[in-house]
Amino acid sequence: MKHYIFLLYFSGLLSLCCCKNQYTSTDKSVEVMTFNIRLDAPSDSANNWKYRKENVYQMITYYHPDLLGMQEVCHNQMEDLKQGLPQYTALGVGRDDGKEAGEYCPIFFNPNRFTLLKSGNFALSEHPDSIGIKGWDASYNRITTWAILKEKRNGKELVFFNTHLDNDGKIARKESARLIVQKIKEIAPHIPAILTGDFNCTPDETPLQVLEENGMKNSLKTANVTYGPSWSFHDFGRLTKEECTLLDYIFTTDNIEVNRYRVIQDEPNNGFLSDHYPILVKLAFK
């Protein structure tokens, strides 16, 4: 009898452990994170990537978003992230040559939940098929990475875009927003779309208005519940709260409901995760 009870207990415990690592069919929500990790810059001194990366892995593993878009990812950081987050499939290319040179805007997705159907990259310029060319009045060449994914549970498809708009060029930011909307309509016109990124603009600026005028919804405005500070960029804590600003956003098409929105203000004991805070939203498809 004791042996039988032990077997039942062990079987239940094993089942519970397995379920924690698998996508359950009853969970219909999708959690999405955007995070500018700050490039690997020697001038950052104590805030250099080598001192932050382990905490970044732990933070992402803790919140375990289903979809993750990151910005300012250098090639060595991309390789570090692949090793530090083996539970994800990573997509993306460097913005300078479409291979490994320059910053990535990578997409990480949970392969236990999604199957990759198609993916690609395009430049934010007048020549989107030519990666490595600066667009309009931009100071840097910029890129967008995208993926069409299918949910393993129900076969439903979505398209996920991740980007980083220019920090200087006002025309470039506006035209980049228009280009992204155009690409969403071209690549996946009939399925739900999610757009993450560092848009390098505040909520009242033109690029966000362009997105909203073309049917994209700002999750900050549409979420049923919002939590955390009203800003995401803090420059490694150097800015006062009054100087901090919101630069990072998650947009969706109208066929997606945003249940929860949060700016994650986590700070490890030994420094910062980045000069930006990540943003996490919980979505459901209508």
Per-residue pLDDT for the chain (286 aa), expressed as one digit of tens each?
444 443 434 444 444 444 444 444 446 899 999 999 999 999 999 999 999 999 999 999 999 999 999 999 999 999 999 999 999 999 999 999 999 999 999 999 999 999 999 999 999 999 999 999 999 999 999 999 999 999 999 999 999 999 999 999 999 999 999 999 999 999 999 999 999 999 999 999 999 999 999 999 999 999 999 999 999 999 999 999 999 999 999 999 999 999 999 999 999 998 999 999 999 999 999 8
- HSE of 19, CA atoms in CB hemisphere, 13 A: 10
Check if the beta carbon of residue 191 is closer than 8 Å to that of residue 158: yes
pTM score, whole prediction: 0.91
Structure tokens at 114: 């999604």
State the Rg of the chain over Cα: 20
The residues, any chain, with a CB within 8 Å of residue 94's CB and separated by 6 or more, are 75, 100, 101, 102, 103, 104
DSSP state of 70: E
CATH assignment, 27-285: 3.60.10.10
**DSSP H/E element including 257:** strand 256-263
